Amino acid sequence: MAKKNYLKIEYTLTILIIAVIVMIIVPFDFESNAQADFISRWQDKYSRLEYMFNVINVHEKDEIIKSFKHANTKEERENIIIGLIQPYFRIRKEKLPKRYQVKFMNKIKVPKSSKYYFEDTYTSENGMIVGIKNLDTKSPDEPMFIMMFDINGILQPNTWGKDIYGVNIYEHGLEAFGQNMSIKELEMDCSILGTGLGCSYYYKIGGGFND
């Protein structure tokens, strides 16, 4: 009888150890899978943006540039870019809940004073959040707008380089944040020591991520 009880205890302990191991391993697998999904969806969004600007460059570039130059206010300029994006992303203006707070990859909250803080936000398909910021630049070598894409919307982690990515919009087209960085700089920025902004370009060119 004692032997049977001993076997039961041993069996129970084995099951508990296996359960603990599974509980430890599964969250990491889930996080890695979620990150891979975010990256894949970002790459798809970027491809759509490139297609959109290729179409614009072929058919409407001169008229759009003329419209931007004649726009007198920030609102007029933003309405132009929204009109361009609308057919491709079906965005609509929406005020985000107060709990929505964006962080850099190093876990520092993005302050309102930052270039990468977006007040004007819109929702798109599958709850994605799109941010648009007018930089009011005059030189064609500087971006006119920057845009952010929070792939899974208000859901966590709301972090640059994890579920949030961005682009610079120029007269001549667009580029992902980080395109001007070296590979070593991208690897550093796309880590827990960096901002995560450079991940937008790093993942676009096939860079890996830390599990």
12 pLDDT more than 50: yes
pLDDT in tens, 157-181: 999 999 999 999 887 789 999 999 9
- What per-residue confidence (pLDDT) applies to 209? 62
Rounded to the nearest 5 degrees, what angle is found at the Cα of 87, between the Cα atoms of 86 and 89? 65
Task: Answer yes or no: is pLDDT of 69 > 90.
Answer: no
- Please state, for a pLDDT cut of 70, what percent of the chain lies above it: 78
Distance of alpha carbon 176 from alpha carbon 206, whole angstroms: 13
Phi, psi for 59 (deg, rounded to 5) = -110, -30
Whether residue 64 has pLDDT greater than 80: no
Predicted model pTM? 0.78
**pLDDT for residue 26:** 47
Instruction: Read off the pLDDT of residues 81-104 as tens digits, 9 standing for 90 and up.
Output: 778 777 777 888 877 888 899 999
Domain coordinates in residue numbering, the chain: 2-202
Residue predicted with more confidence, 60 or 33: 33
For 189-211, what is the mean pLDDT? 89
pLDDT of residue 211: 44
What is the reported pLDDT for 32? 79
Lowest mean pLDDT among 15-19, 42-46, 137-141, 204-208: 15-19
**How many angstroms from the chain centroid is the CA of residue 69?**
29
Question: 84 and 56 in contact (C-beta within 8 Å)?
Answer: yes
**Is the confidence at residue 116, as pLDDT, over 80?**
yes
Identify how many contiguous H helices and E strands the chain contains and give both numbers. Answer: 5, 6
Give residue 59's pLDDT.
58
Name residues whose C-beta falls within 8 Å of residue 77's C-beta, 6 or more positions apart in sequence. Answer: 68, 71, 134, 136, 144, 145
- Say yes or no to pLDDT of 60 above 60: yes
Least Cα distance to 189 among 173, 175, 168, 210 occurs for: 210
